[in-house]
Amino acid sequence: MKYQSAAEIGHVDEKGHWSPNEPIQYAPIFQWPIKPVAILKYLFSWGGLIWPINLICVGLGFLTNYVLQPDLSQTMTLQLSWIAQMLLRNFIYLWIVYGGLHYVLYIKKMQGTKRKYHPEWQSASNKKFTFNNQVKDNIFWSNASGLLFWTAYEVLYVWAASNGKVPLITWNQHPVWFVAMFFVIILIREVHFYLIHRLIHTEKIFKYVHSLHHRNNNVAPWSGMSMHPVEHLAYMTSLLIHFIIPSSPVHFFFHTVHLTLTPASGHTGFEGPLFNGKMPSGSYFHYLHHKYVNCNFGMEIIPMDKWFGNFYDGTGKFKFIRKKHKSQTSKIK
Ligand SMILES: [Zn+2]
Ligand SMILES: [Zn+2]
């Protein structure tokens, strides 16, 4: 596919906000009438469903399980040594992905402001953020909460798996299901994320919990995992499916890296593909959620927002009530 320049696909308004020229589209999978060519293109083209992001997550699932994870025979009892090893591995993943994207886009500014949604850089003196600094605030919550919950869920899983408490399958037993399970996880995540996200947007939970993530109306990579501990706990409950649905540790680790690393790409603050078409990234769909709060709660494959009447395609007048919670602009108590 030919790379299109920023001006070809979007425009900058008088206040410096970038937006695409065309309305946001859902992935073609759940559209009626069925469009087989569009579906095949979406599945296999660069920046589509499989390649590169989900395939990288599959690779990380294998790498984690077969190279960087203590064997199930060692994880039958909870011991600090193997738990620390997993924590360190996840810490390295987190910093390579979030730190790397932040470094190239916000420190080195290799993309400049081309296709940047918001005209400003991250705030370094705003009282609504911990340490009065948006980047430090986001790094703090990603590491002090996100990394711990992520690792805790993994510890729970491997401990349970090594004690025979989760239904396991192997490639040799069920090759078709083994492959299908990666897609099942992606789809379950979409539905789960929408439901949890709607729940944490209820008045009280938003005020005390989710408003922390919404401090970021101008998003950057570290915003992706910047959540209140209660939100991290709830957000990762999709992992509990592995205690019910037969799967392998590779699927589980695919699921964990999908949950914890892909938000970096969805919150870059830039419309992809970046660097002259080399790197698919960014989500104007989710950026509009941060901007207007009351739309686009879900993701971009299953049109949950369309079905529930919360979808805003970014063009025309914003038709929902633009929610401005007090807690969105003041510091979390
Ligand atoms: Zn977000
Ligand atoms: Zn939200």
Q: Which ligand number lies closest to the CA of residue 268?
A: 1
What's the 50 CA to ligand 1 centre distance in angstroms?
Answer: 22
The structure's pTM equals 0.94
The mean pLDDT of 90-104, rounded to a whole number, is 98
Q: Which ligand number lies closest to the CA of residue 201?
A: 2
Reported for 124-129, long-range contacts at CB under 8 A and 24+ positions apart, including other chains, are 127/331, 128/215, 128/329, 128/330, 128/331, 129/215, 129/331
Predicted local distance difference test score (pLDDT) of residue 7? 54
Asked if 27 and 279 count as a contact pair (C-beta separation under 8 A), the reply is no
What's the 37 CA to ligand 1 centre distance in angstroms?
Answer: 31
Tell me how far apart the alpha carbons of residues 212 and 40 are, in angstroms, rounded to a whole number. 39
- Could you report the per-residue pLDDT of 202-224, keeping only the tens digit for each? 999 999 999 999 999 999 999 99
Tell me how far apart the alpha carbons of residues 159 and 323 are, in angstroms, rounded to a whole number. 43
Q: Which ligand number lies closest to the CA of residue 227?
A: 1
What's the 284 CA to ligand 2 centre distance in angstroms?
Answer: 14
Q: 9: burial class by Cβ within 10 Å (0-12, 13-18, 19+)?
A: middle
Tell me how far apart the alpha carbons of residues 285 and 312 are, in angstroms, rounded to a whole number. 8
What's the 312 CA to ligand 2 centre distance in angstroms?
Answer: 14
C-alpha torsion sign, points 57, 60, 66, 72: negative
Q: Give the count of beta carbons closer than 10 Å to the beta carbon of residue 325.
A: 15
DSSP secondary structure, 60-97, as one string: HHHHHHHTSS--GGG-SS--HHHHHHHHHHHHHHHIII
Tell me how far apart the alpha carbons of residues 266 and 255 are, in angstroms, rounded to a whole number. 16
Q: Which ligand number lies closest to the CA of residue 224?
A: 1
What's the 251 CA to ligand 1 centre distance in angstroms?
Answer: 24
Asked if 93 and 60 count as a contact pair (C-beta separation under 8 A), the reply is yes
Predicted local distance difference test score (pLDDT) of residue 330? 39
* Mean pLDDT, all residues of the chain: 92
Question: 3-class DSSP state for residue 116?
Answer: strand
What's the 280 CA to ligand 2 centre distance in angstroms?
Answer: 23
What's the 92 CA to ligand 2 centre distance in angstroms?
Answer: 27
Asked if 94 and 214 count as a contact pair (C-beta separation under 8 A), the reply is no
Asked if 9 and 20 count as a contact pair (C-beta separation under 8 A), the reply is yes
Asked if 226 and 142 count as a contact pair (C-beta separation under 8 A), the reply is yes
Q: 217: burial class by Cβ within 10 Å (0-12, 13-18, 19+)?
A: middle
Tell me how far apart the alpha carbons of residues 324 and 322 are, in angstroms, rounded to a whole number. 6
- Could you report the per-residue pLDDT of 141-154, keeping only the tens digit for each? 999 999 999 999 99
What's the 157 CA to ligand 2 centre distance in angstroms?
Answer: 28
The mean pLDDT of 70-99, rounded to a whole number, is 97
What's the 165 CA to ligand 1 centre distance in angstroms?
Answer: 34
- Could you report the per-residue pLDDT of 164-181, keeping only the tens digit for each? 999 999 999 999 999 999
- Could you report the per-residue pLDDT of 9-35, keeping only the tens digit for each? 899 999 999 999 999 999 999 988 999
Q: Which ligand number lies closest to the CA of residue 286?
A: 1
Predicted local distance difference test score (pLDDT) of residue 333? 31
Predicted local distance difference test score (pLDDT) of residue 332? 37
What's the 36 CA to ligand 1 centre distance in angstroms?
Answer: 31
User: Which of 58-72, 94-108, 217-231, 266-280 shows the lowest mean pLDDT across its residues?
Assistant: 266-280
What's the 188 CA to ligand 2 centre distance in angstroms?
Answer: 19
DSSP one-letter code for 24: P
Tell me how far apart the alpha carbons of residues 242 and 250 are, in angstroms, rounded to a whole number. 11
Question: 3-class DSSP state for residue 312?
Answer: coil
- Could you report the per-residue pLDDT of 235-278, keeping only the tens digit for each? 999 999 999 999 999 999 999 999 999 999 999 999 988 888 78
Of 5-9, 17-21, 120-124, 191-195, highest mean pLDDT: 191-195
What's the 237 CA to ligand 1 centre distance in angstroms?
Answer: 17
Token pair, residue 13, equals: 């308004």
Q: How confident is the model at residue 123 (pLDDT cuts 50, 70, 90)?
A: confident
Q: How confident is the model at residue 280 (pLDDT cuts 50, 70, 90)?
A: confident
Tell me how far apart the alpha carbons of residues 97 and 265 are, in angstroms, rounded to a whole number. 9
What's the 290 CA to ligand 2 centre distance in angstroms?
Answer: 7
What's the 234 CA to ligand 1 centre distance in angstroms?
Answer: 15
What's the 297 CA to ligand 1 centre distance in angstroms?
Answer: 9
User: Which of 7-11, 40-44, 294-298, 300-304 shows the lowest mean pLDDT across its residues?
Assistant: 7-11
What's the 241 CA to ligand 1 centre distance in angstroms?
Answer: 23
Position 124 pLDDT exceeds 70: yes
Position 234 pLDDT exceeds 90: yes
Q: Which ligand number lies closest to the CA of residue 269?
A: 1
Predicted local distance difference test score (pLDDT) of residue 323? 63
Token pair, residue 282, equals: 């960014």
What's the 82 CA to ligand 1 centre distance in angstroms?
Answer: 32
Quick one: what percent of the chain has pLDDT higher than 70?
94
What's the 272 CA to ligand 1 centre distance in angstroms?
Answer: 16
